[in-house]
Amino acid sequence: GEDVEQSLFLSVREGDSSVINCTYTDSSSTYLYWYKQEPGAGLQLLTYIFSNMDMKQDQRLTVLLNKKDKHLSLRIADTQTGDSAIYFCAERENDMRFGAGTRLTVKP
Amino acid sequence: ETGVTQTPRHLVMGMTNKKSLKCEQHLGHNAMYWYKQSAKKPLELMFVYSLEERVENNSVPSRFSPECPNSSHLFLHLHTLQPEDSALYLCASSHSLQGAGWGYTFGSGTRLTVV
């Protein structure tokens, strides 16, 4: 089947930038998403990018898409302790396919 | 609140019990989903409903029984569960089953513990 892969852990210091990477295999994916899951909560849609774009910026979040390499990244500028969570990459042509999630830990 | 409400938030049940999880959305979405999230495992899609019809059942054991009485409500009936069924059960909805431009809206989940 088609896979969405992410590294499982990332640790950064407060104030630094975080970059969470994701690779996917389905070249027909039309939209790619980033979701955030805080402890004890469901998944919250953070941002998404259409496959004909290569960058999208939304306040502290920057999404970069390299469609040729099927690589998606989420950059969080000025990372705060409140950004500590699990971040899921997902792709959708019809069904939504999720990665396993990257646990971001922000150290003071 | 995301617009998708799940109850209860926490549930502890014995292996011989019967219980139900409830999901409700008033977003006007036509597709609803049940996911299972276990520790250290990817999200597992369990069931998909579109316009109240089940369109996908991902080899889920029969001790899990979904019900979608209308487009706003989705239930997951549980009976004779096993301890390995302990997990966070997430409900999600989307505008339509197909159409990649629509993301999923998730509920906060029900944390299920089977003892």
- Ordered per-residue pLDDT tens for chain A, 108 residues: 458 999 999 999 999 999 999 999 887 777 899 999 998 889 999 999 988 889 999 999 999 999 999 999 999 999 999 999 999 999 887 778 899 999 999 999
What are the CA-CA distances from residue A12 to residues A33, A34, B111 (Å)?
22, 19, 29
Within the 13-52 window of chain A, which residues sit less than 8 Å (CB to CB) from chain B?
29-31, 33, 35, 40-45, 48, 50
User: Could you tell me what percent of chain A has a pLDDT over 70?
Assistant: 98
Q: How far is B114 from chain A (nearest CA, A)?
A: 18
pLDDT at B96: 81
Q: Is residue B114 less than 8 Å (CB to CB) from chain A?
A: no
How far is Cα B93 from Cα B71, in angstroms, rounded to an integer? 10
Q: Given a cut of 60, is residue B111 above it in pLDDT?
A: yes
pLDDT at A2: 57
Q: Which residue has the tokens 């027909």?
A: A28
pLDDT at A15: 97
Q: Is residue B22 less than 8 Å (CB to CB) from chain A?
A: no
Nearby residues of B72 by Cβ (< 8 Å), 6 or more positions away: B24, B25, B26
pLDDT at B89: 97
Per CB-CB distance under 8 Å, the chain B contacts of A99 are 42
pLDDT at B67: 96
Closest by CA position to A90, among listed A54, A53, A49:
A49
